[in-house]
Amino acid sequence: MRLLFILLWLVCGSAKAVMGPFDVYEQALRNDPVFLGAIKEHKAGLENRAIGRAGLMPKLSYNYNKGYNDSEARLPDGRGGTYRDDRNYSSFGSTFSLQQPLFDYEAYANYRKGVAQALFADQRFREKSQALLVRVLSYYTQALFAQDQIDMARVKKKAFEQHFQQNKHLLQQGEGTRTDILEAESRYELAIAEEIQALDEQDASLRALGSLIGVQNINIEDLAPLDDDFSALILTPASYDTWHKMAVENNPVLASERHALEIARHEVERNRSGHLPKVTAYATSRKQESESSNTYNQRYDTNTIGIEISLPLYAGGGVSASTRQASYAMQQAEYELEGKTREILIELRRQFSACLSGVSKLRAYQKALVAAEALVLSTQQSILGGERANLDALNAEQQLYSTRRDLAQARYDYLMAWTKLHYHSGNLQAADLAKLDDAFFTRSPQ
């Protein structure tokens, strides 16, 4: 049961410190492959800004060539004939070239697209950073809830086994019935099945938690249990309209979708630029010596400055088709943004309602637990007085265990609802997880 788990934690805690959710999060920042991959994805995305800007910057290049030529020339001899001139000579050419776009709408659209892609990368990374906080708490609470179920299943096994032995003894004395034995046996076997299922669920949760921090196996004793006195957190702000506004403005998923729409718009402009001229200023400095047969034994030093205009006339309809294609993709991005907005706001409302109702549910389950414990004692006394049957005691105990399970589930559900509400509003931070950490039995090593 819960008390046994806490006592076990206290005993094991003397050997080493346990981890709270925030401790797991700090290790996950260094070891979670999903998050580490997100860091690289973010850095790669930020480079789009520089890539786009490069198209607007000057381009400087240098070309050099040097070679040896063996040629045979037929030249007029002045008498109506020709003579052969064998030429063996070296040649070279050297060119500095500078180009600066003056009007290049495609390059400008690429630059604006690169800026939008960098902003998209920022929001994607912010979303994955916040998602890591949610994953840590989710796996953590799943493991603890599975331990609660294991503890309850074992207590149930012990209690139902006692009923089974007691009823078996009464039957031997001629005071019990075969039905009472079967009832106790049935409850006992169900408790075994519940324990097996809880063990499987806990193993999966602990392995998922271990994968976040790069550890093969984590023991449940390494995790700090939830304080039994935990009730609820103050929800600030208390108005859903404020949460709604924050989600629309700050949710990183919606922000990234808006930047994706902006990227699609600039892609339309980039394709449309195929109809527009390009104007480029250029300057070159060339040095040539015997670079061709016409310049044999001649050296030229040439400096040139000018403007080049390129005007597309016809490209087979490809520019118009690619523009239409990009336009359809932009419309798709608009619908995806609208759909994602509705989806997130629905989830935001669900988590906000769960936070509000969760407080009432916790109070109700706490009162129900007190009543269930009293019912078990009252039923046991009634059986001794001959007023209740053995089945009544089994039902009362089953109700007690179910109430304990539901209360534990309600506590973990409330923690997750509070966390996901901040996540969907776009305001979840490490400080929020540190605040939740206070609800667990964490302590320093001794």
User: By mean pLDDT, which of 24-38, 50-64, 174-188, 252-266 is the weakest?
Assistant: 174-188
What range defines the domain where residue 68 resides? 59-74+84-102+279-311
Digit-coded pLDDT (tens) for 180-239 = 677 777 877 888 898 899 999 999 999 999 999 999 888 999 999 998 888 788 899 999
Burial class for 378, CB neighbours closer than 10 Å (0-12, 13-18, 19+): middle
Q: Give the residue carrying structure tokens 């309809």.
A: 317
Average pLDDT over residues 19-35: 94
Which of the two residues, 2 and 410, has the higher pLDDT score?
410
Average pLDDT over residues 416-444: 88
The pLDDT, as a whole number, for residue 186 is 81
pTM score, whole prediction:
0.83
Please say whether the beta carbons of 42 and 124 come within 8 A. yes
Q: Domain for residue 442, yes or no?
A: no
Average pLDDT over the chain, rounded to an integer? 86
Considering the domain architecture, whether residues 376 and 425 belong to the same structural domain is answered as yes
Q: List the CATH number of the domain containing 35.
A: 1.20.1600.10
Alpha helices in 173-282, H assignment, sequence order = 178-213, 240-250, 252-272
The pLDDT, as a whole number, for residue 176 is 63
The H or E element that residue 219 is part of is none
CA nearest to 417, candidates 360, 362, 347: 347
Angle at Cα 148 formed by Cα 144 and Cα 150, nearest 5°?
Answer: 110
Digit-coded pLDDT (tens) for 360-402 = 999 998 899 888 888 878 777 776 655 445 666 767 777 888 8
Helix (H, G, I), strand (E, B) or coil at 102: strand
Q: Domain for residue 416, yes or no?
A: yes
Considering the domain architecture, whether residues 144 and 235 belong to the same structural domain is answered as yes
Q: Domain for residue 377, yes or no?
A: yes
Considering the domain architecture, whether residues 262 and 301 belong to the same structural domain is answered as no
Digit-coded pLDDT (tens) for 158-180 = 777 776 676 666 666 766 677 76
Digit-coded pLDDT (tens) for 332-360 = 999 999 999 999 999 999 999 999 999 99
Considering the domain architecture, whether residues 298 and 410 belong to the same structural domain is answered as no
Considering the domain architecture, whether residues 108 and 98 belong to the same structural domain is answered as no
Model confidence at 297, in pLDDT bands (50, 70, 90)? confident
Question: CA 211 to CA 140: how far, in whole Å?
Answer: 12
Burial class for 370, CB neighbours closer than 10 Å (0-12, 13-18, 19+): exposed
The pLDDT, as a whole number, for residue 403 is 87
Considering the domain architecture, whether residues 231 and 327 belong to the same structural domain is answered as yes
Considering the domain architecture, whether residues 193 and 219 belong to the same structural domain is answered as yes
Domains contained in the chain, number: 2
